[in-house]
Structure 1
Amino acid sequence: MEKKVKLIITDLDQTLLKGDKSISQYTLDIIKKCKEQGINIAIATARSERAAKRYIDLIKPDIVISNGGALAKHNGEVIYRSMLSPLVSEALIKDCVLHTDIGEVTVETEMGYFSNSPNLLKNGVDYDHAIYNTYEESLDCETFKITVEAFNNKAALELATKYSECSFLAYSGEPWCRFAHKNATKDYAIIKLAEHLNTDLSQVAAFGDDYNDIDMLKTCGYGVAVSNAIEEVRQVATHITYSNEEDGVARFIQENFLL
């Protein structure tokens, strides 16, 4: 493979991170070598910056694409932002709270991360910044995403279709769905970042495992699926590497992109 990659983008959960949410020293060393060779490193995650903070601190990426593509920053500078309007956000939150097929409702905003579950630590320490909110009063702000515990994905999808600016995404292997602006996607953010960096998409490599990584992999010159990825991701990938438990991202980078 010709070594011409200028930007490497990786998802976090089940891609770069192992099942226990750790990052191996080997992977961190490979990322460091990429930077030494002038390759930009980006993470592209469904998490917010706050929920990804400990990984951002470890990796020190040049670029952070967070909230599933709703926000993209290069060295701290906002390059792209796509949020649901206050009006749509308020109406959708009310719909979710009142729906019998939806449990916990979380809302990511610039003001903070809110949840209507009294057990704020049930989603792990990465979400210990959550603020309890019953949503009885309007948040009155734009939202990066509204993520819900859905007992019926079809019912949740029907809610999204009520709002023309809204998109819907179900995550694999867990009963959670995300509502966001229709342009809040990883691939759209990557296109904007590539323009900002004056980098051709053929010189970009992306790694992923789940539904929200499909268009990202299709957009980039190298779309690499970890072997534990869902079948839909594997089908669109240009390459398949080892699993997240086997440092698949780092091994592929070392074997194909480092001098």
Structure 2
Amino acid sequence: MSYKIIFSDIDGTLLDADRTLSQKTIKVLSELKSRFPIVLISSRMPVQMYYLQEKAGILGMPLIAYNGALVLDKGGEVLHSVEIPHALCEQIVALNEQYTQGKLHISFYNFNEWYVPQIDQWAEREERNTATTPVVKSNQEVLSLWKAQNKGAHKLMLMGEEALVEAMWEALQTQMAGQLQLYRAKNTYIEITLQNVSKLTGIEAFLAHHKEITLADAIAFGDNYNDQEMLEAVGLGVAVANAREEVKAVANDTTHHHKEDGVARYLAQMFDIEL
């Protein structure tokens, strides 16, 4: 099979133990970039992916952010954008305000904007993990600002102690069923996009503008539940060794652990690149 495009998840898949791109990964991606597009696909915001693209020598290539809610073509052209409507953002904040036992941290994201209510342990962790600095504004301030701009959120991220997160998870599923896509990468996180947003829908939106490429022409790498549909749908879905068992079950193949350059080693063998 002659493949025409590569999609790769970032955290837990492409990055090494230090949450960066290893020299082996940089070498492989740099060598392959002249053959076909290499598209980073992640729950991250675009600016949190640009510096990784730059390091790999693929800056300016397409990317898919916010688990598929925002798709950018070469040079940053917006191909697809799905926001959580302002009214739903208000409902989520109101739900959080109801909890007397404590409040969750809610981060607001739209394109390259990231707002946090305060610099707490949750904001600091995300800042370290993504090499990006947020803007401090209360949730209500952001809602007021975005209402005036007629803007919604590409993603909301709720973070806090596990018991609080669990309570919010159940409340969202009960009170806002069928309106939101909820994803829980960790027990202390909930990532929210609009219903029916996924990495697969992001890929499909991208391919709708590139008719010369089909899902069967694609290779994809991933590790977590939000990669599952993508790996199952593409021509060659590859799970890293540290992937969830459910993800491995739908993948066509597996590779080494992300801490052992799994993506780079798989591509190097496939395309005869010396590491």
Same fold (TM over 0.5): yes
- Picking from 201, 223, 229, the partner of 1:215 is 229
| Partner Cα distance (2:172, 2:62) in 1 | 29
The reply to whether residue 17 of structure 1 matches residue 31 of structure 2 is: no
Q: Which residue of 2 aligns with 1:63?
A: 62
The reply to whether residue 224 of structure 1 matches residue 221 of structure 2 is: no
Structure 1 residue 191, shift from structure 2 partner = 1.1
| Partner Cα distance (2:104, 2:179) in 1 | 23
- Picking from 145, 148, 161, the partner of 2:158 is 148
Q: Which residue of 1 aligns with 2:94?
A: 94
State TM-score, norm by structure 2: 0.85
The reply to whether residue 53 of structure 1 matches residue 53 of structure 2 is: no
Structure 1 residue 51, shift from structure 2 partner = 2.4
- Picking from 175, 196, 203, the partner of 2:209 is 196
Structure 2 stretches of 5 or more lacking a match? none
- Secondary structure of 1:223's counterpart equals strand
The reply to whether residue 135 of structure 1 matches residue 139 of structure 2 is: yes
Inter-CA distance 213–102: structure 2 relative to 1 (3 Å threshold): farther
Q: Which residue of 1 aligns with 2:197?
A: 184
The one-letter code sitting in structure 2 at the alignment partner of 1:41 is: I
| Partner Cα distance (2:28, 2:107) in 1 | 35
Q: Which residue of 2 aligns with 1:44?
A: 41
| Partner Cα distance (2:189, 2:240) in 1 | 22
1:33-88 Cα offsets, whole Å, 9 max, x none, are 2122x221000011101223321222325211111111011111111111101111
- Segments of 4+ moved more than 4 angstroms: none
Q: Answer with 152-161 or 205-214: which moved more.
A: 152-161
Inter-CA distance 142–31: structure 2 relative to 1 (3 Å threshold): same
Structure 1 residue 121, shift from structure 2 partner = 2.8
The one-letter code sitting in structure 1 at the alignment partner of 2:90 is: E
Structure 1 residue 103, shift from structure 2 partner = 2.4
Q: Which residue of 1 aligns with 2:72?
A: 73
Structure 1 stretches of 5 or more lacking a match? none
State TM-score, norm by structure 1: 0.90
The reply to whether residue 123 of structure 1 matches residue 137 of structure 2 is: no
Structure 1 residue 146, shift from structure 2 partner = 0.8
Q: Answer with 87-96 or 13-22: which moved more.
A: 87-96
Between the two proteins, the alignment pairs up a number of residues equal to 255
The one-letter code sitting in structure 2 at the alignment partner of 1:94 is: A
1:7-50 Cα offsets, whole Å, 9 max, x none, are 100011110001211211221111122122x2210000111012
Asked if the contact 2:116/2:137 (under 8 Å) is kept, the reply is: yes
The one-letter code sitting in structure 2 at the alignment partner of 1:123 is: E
| Partner Cα distance (1:107, 1:127) in 2 | 17
Q: RMSD over aligned Cα, in angstroms?
A: 2.0
Structure 1 residue 123, shift from structure 2 partner = 2.5
Q: Which residue of 1 aligns with 2:170?
A: 158
- Secondary structure of 1:118's counterpart equals coil
Asked if the contact 2:46/2:111 (under 8 Å) is kept, the reply is: no
Q: Which residue of 1 aligns with 2:104?
A: 103
| Partner Cα distance (1:102, 1:56) in 2 | 35
User: Aligned residues: percent identity?
Assistant: 24
Inter-CA distance 35–113: structure 2 relative to 1 (3 Å threshold): same
Structure 1 residue 6, shift from structure 2 partner = 0.5
